[in-house]
Every structure is written in C-alpha cells, then in structure tokens.
Amino acid sequence: MRSRILTLLAGTAAASVLAGAAFAEDQTAPAAAPAAPAAPASWWSTVSVTGHVEAGFTANPSVPDQQISFGRLFDDRSNTPLLNQVAITVQRPLNTSGGFDVGFKLQGMYGSDSRYTHFIGELDRSVSGINQFDVVEANVQMHLPILTKGGMDIKAGQFSTPIGQEVIDPTGNFFYSHSYIFNFGIPLKHTGILTTTHVNSVLDIYAGYDTGVNTSVGTRGGPNANQFHFLGGFGLNLKGWTVLALTHVGPEDCACGPNAHSQLRYLNDVLVTHKINDKLTSVTEFNYIRDDNFGAPASGGGVAEYLTYTLTPQITAAMRAEVWRDNNGFFVAAFPGNFDFVNLEVGRPGTYYGQGPMTYGAVTFGLNIKPSKLPKQIDGLTLRPEIRYDTALSSGHPFNGNPGSGKDQVTIGIDLVVPLTM
C-alpha cells in the first residue's frame, strides 16, 4: 500500500514538472482569447410549424347498417376509407426549467374526425360533409416561478383535455380505434384556464375553470357556458410509476327547469402508468361518469388496461382490454349523420341511437411500424394495423344496426400517420 502511494505521488510530481516546463517554454506566447459565449436562442427561434396527416380504413365483416360500427367515433365508418385528419400546428413550447416564460399553441385540422371534436358553437355547422374544419387548440401558456421551487404553469384559451390516456392527435396514441372511455367517458376539449402547480418533484396540482365539455364561449356555447365548471386533480411522479387523477364537474346539456344549473355532470379519470422494464409498459385507466340532468341520474364507467412491448426499434406491439358499463343506455351510441354528435351535445333532434343499458367489453391487438431511414420531413411515419373484438357482456345485441342484431363485433383496422416537419 505504501509503495502504491509513493508511486502515485511520484507520478503526480512528474506531471506537475512537465506541465511547468511546458508553461515556461510557451510563456512568451500571447494567451489565447476565451471563446465567445454562444448567443442565447431568441424567443421566435423556438417557434415551430409542424403537422400530420392521418388516413385509415376499418373492415367490418358483418357489413352493418349505414356502414356504422356501433360504439365507435373516429373510426365509425366501416368498409370505407377515411381522411381522418390533416392538421397544422404552430407552437412555441413552454420552458418550465427556469424563470418566467411564455408559449402558445395553435392547431387546426380538416377531416372526418372533426365531426366529433368541435367546440360547441364554433365551426360545428360550417361544413355539412363528412370532412369538416375544426380548431383543436388556440391558447397562451405561461410559466411563473412562484409559490414553489417548480413554479406554476398557466394555460388560457382553448385546449385539448388533460384527462385520459388517449388524445385527439393520432401521434399521441398507439391504436387507430379508440376506447369506450375516450369516446364516451371524458371531455375532449375545454375553453378556459388551467393551472398546474409543481409542488415538488413528486406532486403536481391541477386546478382550472372552463365553460363546459367541448364548449366555446358566449350564447353559441350553449345555455351553461357561463356557469362554473371545475377541471382539476393531481399527478404523482414516482420511481417507475406515475399517477394522474383528474375530474371535470359542471352543468351540461340544456338549461331545463329551475334546477338545471345545479344538475351536474361528473367526469372522473385515473391513470396509473408503470414502466415495467425498458421494453414493457403498463397503463391502467379507471373511469366514472355521471349526469344528473336526466331524471334518474345517468351513469357509466369502467376500466381499460394497455400493455405495450418494444419488439425492435421499428416495431412495437400492444394490447388494450376494456370493460365499460353504460348503466342507463345514455352514453354509448352511434351517429350516422355528420351533425348528429353535435345535435346530441346541444339537445337537438338527430338520428343518433343507443342500445339501452349495457356492459361492453373490447380487446384490441395492434402494431406500430415505423420504417427507418426516412426523409427528415416525414421521420416518424407510422403504420398502425389492428384487430379488435367487441362484445356485449350483459344481455342484448348492440351491434350491426338499429336495433342491433349482433352480440359481437370484429373489426380489422389500419391507418397511416405521417408527421410533417416544415
């Protein structure tokens, strides 16, 4: 041990002597000027313009009436191709790592999905065809270094809901088809203000106000747009686990009767995500919805489990299994007409139809295939084939028409999602 220490000291001394000699030999040379610090990026240089295109096809061997696969929204038309979305996004992402910062997001889209994503009273009747225009997001964001070390984020304007596992933008989903929870158990968009307070590295608190489920502002937003609606909850960031528990509460539908504004709709959702290992991830979603505005309150809810497994850098496999109960036959429905979903939201007559109280089960298997070595402008292009089985777990035949004739439904879907960098 002593010899090792003496050797280390001798080596250090020799290195010091050599360094001193080198310095003495070059001490007459002028010192090199320090490199100029890189200029900080300007605010505008972080603004991006991107987009995506999604087109898909769902084969339903049962050939249901009016080409409608019951219980589905974005992929509702069977045996016919759909241009689901052509979207453009202009945004400046919010920097939450430092002091005060301002960002924004503007996203508009055209396609068949817009039939279901409209803000009530905003472009919801501007086009009568299956492909329609929609404003998905138009908001300003701020990060304020206040209250806690992590500060607070504020989003004001129109924005997609933070509730739920699945989202409107297909680049944020694994499957082409959507869950019953996404279609019928959560809002899709909000107009209002949402704050996120980063209490510490573990806990985030969400709290906000909006005008209602999928609602714009003013009289065109519906009779309850000026009533208070709460959006909030909490998030937990644990080692290998995250939990997001959010709720939305407020009066919806028509302003019918003297107590209409106190008859509330409650939408509650909890996500538990577990990174099991580098390849396997589990997401479990719990959902409950209740609406007091229909005599005996209408309620529904269920659970969905997602498992994703990375096979190769280009191919990922996944399974989604779900059980969802519609206690009163109020929430799950089909919408043959291009305005039927909007008509239902505002209480107008339409050709939409449900199938009574029912418990639905569904299992979906799919792949995400991302070819490598693509041009930078379309890097991330994804092909998403899937096979899905739906069934009525309670008595009834909800599928293949109105009234339905099938207890089960099998669909084979595929879509292509092409992100665009401009």
Q: Which helix (H) or strand (E) holds 4?
A: helix 2-25
pLDDT, tens digit, for every residue of 169-228? 999 999 999 999 999 999 999 999 999 999 999 999 999 999 999 998 876 666 676 788
Does the pTM exceed 0.75? yes
Model confidence band, residue 138 (pLDDT cutoffs 50, 70, 90): very high
In the predicted model, is pLDDT for residue 64 greater than 50?
yes
SS percent in the chain: helix, strand, coil, step 5: 15, 45, 40
Asked if the bond preceding 313 is cis, omega within 30° of 0, the reply is: no
Can you say whether the dihedral through the CA atoms of 239, 281, 105, 136 is positive or negative? negative
- The closest of 212, 182, 197, 229 to 364, measured between CA atoms, is 182
**pLDDT score at 6:** 35
Which is higher by pLDDT, 20 or 413? 413
pLDDT, position 54 = 98
d(CA 82, CA 72): 14
Domains and CATH numbers, the chain: 47-421 (2.40.160.10)
Provide the 3-class DSSP secondary structure of residue 341: helix
pLDDT of residue 249 exceeding 70, the answer is yes
The sign of the torsion formed by the CA atoms of 334, 269, 303, 317 equals: positive
Q: What average pLDDT does the chain have?
A: 88
Binning pLDDT at 50, 70 and 90, where does residue 347 land? confident
Distance between CA 382 and CA 314 in Å, rounded?
9
> For residue 335, what pLDDT is reported?
94
Percent of the chain with pLDDT over 90: 69
Alpha-carbon gap, residue 178 to 320, rounded angstroms? 10
Question: What is the predicted pLDDT for the residue at 23?
Answer: 35
Assess contact for 118 and 134: CB atoms under 8 A: yes
Q: Would you say residue 323 has pLDDT above 60?
A: yes
Q: Give the lowest-confidence range in 15-24, 211-220, 242-251.
A: 15-24
* pLDDT of 119 higher than 50: yes
Q: Are 231 and 246 in contact (CB under 8 A)?
A: yes
- Top pLDDT among 275 and 293 is at 275
Q: Region of 347 please: left (phi>0), alpha (psi -120 to 50) or beta.
A: left
Our CA dihedral for 214, 69, 67, 345, rounded to 10 degrees, sits at -20
